[in-house]
């Protein structure tokens, strides 16, 4: 039984892409070119390859020109730095994204530090991270937490004065998510693998953001009645790892029959019985991350010409 309303990420993402399309058309008219996004993929990690393909498809949907660079897995840090240099200088490239994770021999920090902050549509460059910490305006911020904030706004969830609990402290999601909620006046707690009595801390949340990468970890009895639950998890599980709740869901069973895996979040489906609003997986935060990448590219193009 589900008491929670689902926040449909596909619907809100379509709205964001529509807004971006309007802006790219205006940009094209005034500048005589489309905003451009360069996407760099090193190696052939299957999940990363799928994400990159989807990002390039999104560009086509909203009038952004994409420049795809696929490099072999043995590419060195120096070679990748050279490509970043070239793309930093390319006037047709407004946004520059290097898909993570990079192969282990590449110095990821060095690469991220080298991306022109004005083109850093991931918001991972330390200059943009610092500006986010300070709460500056006009900064490129990471797409996933920005997508979550847009979902909360669309659902009229005002973080002001609320207890926000974030499970996961990654640079990509947990930390920037905490800062964005803090800037909107939430009382923020970040939990991680060393947190004592995690369930008890989660139960204090009015807004609970799960970003740990542990399939179905957040359980119904960890969630306060009426909480807003945002599931950032994207975990692939096979039928042998699926609990009964998943095996009872016809859509999941169809997934197993077709692909032998299904994509689940960090939140167990029975949390919907107690939450007021909840994001599904798939179809929740995932499409929002991609849509906000397009919005960031449009912003970068706009700010670069100003
Ligand atoms: N890998 C997983 N998420 C992301 C992301 O948001 N940006 C990049 N560049 N790589 C990722």
20-36 pLDDT, tens digit per residue, is: 999 999 999 999 999 99
The domain made up of 143-286 has a fold known as Rossmann fold (3.40.50)
Ligand 1: residue whose CA is nearest its atom 3: 100
What residue spans define the domains of the chain? 32-119, 143-286
How far, rounded to the nearest angstrom, does the alpha carbon of residue 262 sit from its chain's CA centroid? 19
Q: Could you report the per-residue pLDDT of 102-156, keeping only the tens digit for each?
A: 999 999 999 999 999 999 999 999 999 999 999 999 999 999 999 999 999 999 9
Judged by phi (left if over 0) then psi (alpha if -120 to 50, else beta), residue 274 lies in alpha
Which residues are known to be catalytic? 55, 99, 122
Q: Is the pTM of this model over 0.85?
A: yes
Distances (CA, A) of 63 to 14, 135, 140, 264, 299: 14, 30, 20, 31, 14
What atom of ligand 1 comes closest to residue 101's alpha carbon?
1
Class of 32-119 in CATH: alpha beta
143 lines ligand 1 (CB under 6 A): yes
Which residues are CB-contacts of 212 (< 8 A; sequence separation ≥ 6)?
Answer: 167, 168, 233, 266
What does pLDDT average to over the chain? 97
Q: Which residue has the tokens 């309303």?
A: 5
Q: Do domains 32-119 and 143-286 have the same CATH topology?
A: yes
Coil, helix or strand at residue 42? strand
């Amino acid at each position: 039984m589900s008491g929670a309303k689902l926040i449909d990420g596909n619907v809100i993402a379509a709205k964001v892409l529509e807004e971006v399309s309007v802006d790219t058309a205006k940009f094209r008219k005034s500048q005589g070119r489309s905003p451009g996004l360069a996407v760099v993929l090193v190696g052939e990690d299957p999940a990363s390859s799928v994400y990159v393909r989807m990002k390039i498809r999104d560009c086509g949907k909203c009038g952004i020109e994409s420049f795809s660079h696929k490099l072999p897995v043995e590419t060195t840090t120096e070679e990748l730095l050279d490509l970043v240099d070239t793309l930093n200088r390319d006037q047709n490239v407004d946004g520059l994204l290097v898909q993570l994770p990079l192969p282990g021999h590449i110095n990821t920090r060095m690469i991220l530090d080298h991306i022109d902050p004005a083109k850093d549509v991931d918001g991972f460059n330390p200059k943009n991270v610092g500006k986010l910490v300070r709460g500056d305006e006009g900064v490129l911020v990471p797409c996933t937490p920005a997508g979550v904030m847009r979902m909360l706004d669309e659902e009229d969830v005002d973080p002001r004065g609320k207890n926000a609990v974030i499970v996961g402290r990654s640079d990509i999601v947990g930390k920037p998510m905490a800062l964005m909620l803090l800037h909107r006046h939430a009382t923020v707690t970040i939990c991680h693998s060393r947190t004592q009595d995690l369930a008890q801390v989660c139960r204090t949340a009015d807004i609970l953001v799960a970003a740990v990468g542990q399939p179905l970890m957040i359980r119904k009895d960890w969630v306060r009645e009426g909480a807003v639950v945002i599931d950032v998890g994207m975990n692939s599980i096979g039928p042998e790892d699926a609990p009964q709740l998943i095996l009872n869901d016809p859509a999941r069973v169809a997934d197993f029959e077709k692909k032998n895996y299904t994509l689940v979040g960090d939140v167990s489906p029975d949390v919907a019985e107690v939450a007021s609003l909840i994001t599904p997986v798939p179809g929740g935060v995932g499409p929002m991350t991609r849509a906000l990448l397009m919005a960031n590219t449009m912003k970068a193009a706009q700010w670069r010409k100003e």
